[in-house]
A = this chain, B = another copy of it.
Amino acid sequence: MDSIEKLSSIFEKFPGIGPRQAGRFVQFLLRSSQRTRAELAAAIESLSAAVHQCLECMRYHSGKRAICSICENLERDSTLLAVVANDTDLLAIERSGTYRGKYFVFGGTVSLASEVLSGLRLRELIAYVPKLAKGGLKEIILAFPANPEGDATSIRLKEELESLAKGHSLRVTSLGRGLSTGSEIEYADPDTIKSALDSRR
């Protein structure tokens, strides 16, 4: 396999990228200056050095400290902990500007085939909750996607966290379901109509 094919095959592993677009990326880099390529290679390599996982929420950040800027922010609401699947979901919630609590990145969702939590950060979460409980934690919000994997993860996590939550008098909640902004009732699926009726208020 030559350099072009090698690089193309790596780009094909990128999320959402097929062979044709991987090929276009390679052509783009071939047409770029050597300096641009060197910069990109350096930026990729520097990730390992400059980026580290926050010791608390487990997300990747590139601050100088072991704790990320959200976790070290004393003004965040320490009564709330949102458990999210990954960094991208954390950033989406943060961008929405509607949540001021703490986060924990669980590292993914369970696979429906196995429903096991292996490879995910259950141990780390169980270690983190008591620390937050001392700081006044009242509620764990399971903020997983509204799909079968997300649902299965929430169900498994509720079981795993049950005694811990009871011990520290914590509520364990999930994100509300219903009509998302812009939804027409006519096109809503039965499940969403059911959720919207159940969560009416």
Contact = CB atoms under 8 A, between A and B. Distances in A.
Contacts of A38: 45, 48
Given A4-B62, A47-B29, A141-B197, A92 B176 contact: no
B200 A7 contact: no
Given A15-B25, A60-B4, A99-B197, A192 B173 contact: no
Interface stretch (A121-129, A130-138, A156-164, A180-188): A180-188
Interface residues of A, number: 87
Interface in A27-45: 27-30, 34, 36-45
Interface string A1-41: 01110110010001110000101111111100010111111
Contact of A181 (B26, B87, B97, B146): B146
